Chain A
């Protein structure tokens, strides 16, 4: 149960809404509830249109983009679906049937790619190195004349590794292939300017930045070949039909304005503190992902000889919310594909815990967590049949 005493360290899954975001959204539920498509019928519609365009401008400018290059969606899942399937549909008979992505992408990209395979497309799933980086030479070699799209995330959802999307973008540009990146976890935290980085499509979302759930966006560089995927009315430059989620869009834009470099630096301090403390104080632990080239809000550590769901449940009983890459935790009963992707074995996946920080956490939370966690790990290891000899040697 989430209450005032819960320390929520799963901010990559969802974030607490900032009151100032709610304040900005509120009028659009009660007074200004008209939709933008009614702008030619009555004045409330005009206001709705103006507010929506204003939100669009704020969000687009965050990426250095023009407002008409940014469409609203229902979240990052939909954005990535539109990016992959929209490009595939547009270029299918014109250029080819080949896409490239990586093995550690988040499910919207991975499963969109798998769905396209069923439709006759070929997909290359690139291996990553032990830190989670896409190997650029491998990417270069994989691009063929048939390749229509490369989709490589900006940063990983689980282990936080930040890809060199600038280089990836240049490779795609050289080979004349479209490039999509999922920036769900980096948007507003790590600068991404489309004027400097050659990227054609970017997935972003409100739920990771203390904005509302159910609102996301897709940057589409002007002139990009993309087919309409959701049919209906003519909303969103006739690229995505459906009633505009105006309160959501307003909230998303407001949330993006509230992110500051100082705050991001603060998250990074918590990240570095928890990594240093756990690795030095709890034996048999491994950091997953790169030590420095990682999301400022993300730490992911494997605790050997014990299983993650047991750790999260014990932490929950002590009022800490975190997540794990254990099979027991997932609905498919499979361990984290990301940990496997970086060469980890089952035990490393099952014992991995992800801590993700947000605006409402502080250093005290981190210190309290490490204290509780140290005891939990000791307790669970004492009942585990694994690693006993190693543990006894140390005693």
Chain B
């Protein structure tokens, strides 16, 4: 069979590791939504003293790269400390899978996000995070680094597509350097809103295109 995916991706897609749910997990998170085409839930159990991940499971509503990344990320995170696991990047996951097609970056980055969010969820619920800070340009930019540019397989910030960001009384305005009728504008717009809207003090997200 010929496939745009590597043998490793196909293997993890066919037989994903660590699939399922952990009842009363120490930390859990859901990233994505049916609207963006992919969704992933990550559950972790953490050793209270060593802060290592003792058990990890995931569920996926998504395409092959989403399922395979969920599988590999749980393998990579198992046994690691929270600080180590937080640093696992999409690039590491992709490399461990023998590479992913560029256009699929946005589907697979979700699993990485899911792991980080599950760790944050654990830290929040166990009093390891200080009080909430107001959203700054830096925070928005950091979130935009999680939005993939499907043409490059790299994020929007890195590929210089973010022209401007403004924050004003709970409204974030992002200007993207792409024509309004570009093939990927609807997908990119949706993803930007999805990443920024959950910030606790943001009520509205406006995405504009340059032409």
Residues of A within 8 A of B (CB): 1, 114, 305-307, 309-310, 313, 316-317, 326-329, 331-335, 345-347, 350, 382-386
Which chain B residue shows the least CB distance to A382? Answer: B19
Contact B187 A385 (CB under 8 A): no
| B: number of interface residues (CB 8 Å) | 36
Within the complex, the shortest CB–CB distance from B186 to chain A, in Å, comes to 6
Contacts of A350 in B (CB 8 A): 34, 37
Q: Known: A316-B1, A347-B34. Is A310-B64 also a contact (CB below 8 A)?
A: yes
A333-B187, A383-B60 given; 20 more Cβ-contact pairs under 8 Å: A307-B66, A309-B63, A310-B62, A316-B3, A317-B10, A317-B14, A327-B36, A327-B187, A328-B38, A328-B63, A328-B104, A328-B107, A333-B184, A346-B35, A346-B37, A383-B59, A384-B61, A385-B39, A385-B59, A386-B39
Question: 27 A-B pairs, CB-CB below 8 angstroms?
Answer: A1-B2, A305-B61, A306-B61, A307-B66, A310-B63, A310-B64, A313-B13, A313-B63, A317-B10, A326-B63, A327-B187, A328-B38, A332-B183, A332-B187, A333-B103, A333-B106, A333-B184, A334-B187, A346-B36, A350-B34, A384-B59, A385-B30, A385-B59, A385-B60, A385-B61, A386-B34, A386-B61
| Other-chain contact of B67, A310, A317, A333 (Cβ < 8 Å) | A310
Contact A332 B1 (CB under 8 A): no
Contact B103 A331 (CB under 8 A): yes
Contacts of A329 in B (CB 8 A): 63
Contacts of B13 in A (CB 8 A): 310, 313
Within the complex, the shortest CB–CB distance from B154 to chain A, in Å, comes to 15
Contact B63 A332 (CB under 8 A): no
Chain B, 34-83, CB within 8 A of any chain A CB: 34-41, 59-64, 66-67
Per the bound structure, the CA–CA distance linking A310 and B186 in Å amounts to 23
Q: Which residue among B64, B66, B104 has the maximum number of chain A CB atoms within 10 Å of its CB? A: B64
Which chain B residue shows the least CB distance to A117? Answer: B181
Contact A307 B62 (CB under 8 A): yes
Within the complex, the shortest CB–CB distance from A324 to chain B, in Å, comes to 10
Chain B, 87-133, CB within 8 A of any chain A CB: 103-104, 106-107
Contact A307 B103 (CB under 8 A): no
The 4 tightest CB contacts between A and B, nearest first, are: A328-B63, A309-B63, A385-B59, A333-B187
| Other-chain contact of A385, B37, B41, B63 (Cβ < 8 Å) | B41
Within the complex, the shortest CB–CB distance from A361 to chain B, in Å, comes to 20
Within the complex, the shortest CB–CB distance from A309 to chain B, in Å, comes to 4
Q: Known: A331-B183, A332-B187, A385-B59. Is A313-B64 also a contact (CB below 8 A)?
A: yes
Per the bound structure, the CA–CA distance linking A190 and B156 in Å amounts to 48
| Other-chain contact of A309, B19, B30, B64 (Cβ < 8 Å) | B64
Within the complex, the shortest CB–CB distance from A338 to chain B, in Å, comes to 15
Contacts of B40 in A (CB 8 A): 385
Instruction: Check: B170 CB closer than 8 A to any chain A CB.
Output: no
| Other-chain contact of A307, B2, B59, B63, B106 (Cβ < 8 Å) | B63
Contact A334 B186 (CB under 8 A): yes
Which chain B residue shows the least CB distance to A308? Answer: B63
Within the complex, the shortest CB–CB distance from B81 to chain A, in Å, comes to 26
| Other-chain contact of B1, A317, A335, A347, A385 (Cβ < 8 Å) | A317
Contact A1 B62 (CB under 8 A): no
Instruction: Check: B153 CB closer than 8 A to any chain A CB.
Output: no
Q: Known: A1-B2, A317-B14. Is A345-B103 also a contact (CB below 8 A)?
A: no
Contacts of A326 in B (CB 8 A): 37, 63
Contact B37 A328 (CB under 8 A): yes
Within the complex, the shortest CB–CB distance from B192 to chain A, in Å, comes to 13
Per the bound structure, the CA–CA distance linking A114 and B183 in Å amounts to 13
Within the complex, the shortest CB–CB distance from A129 to chain B, in Å, comes to 23
Q: Known: A305-B61, A385-B59. Is A333-B1 also a contact (CB below 8 A)?
A: no
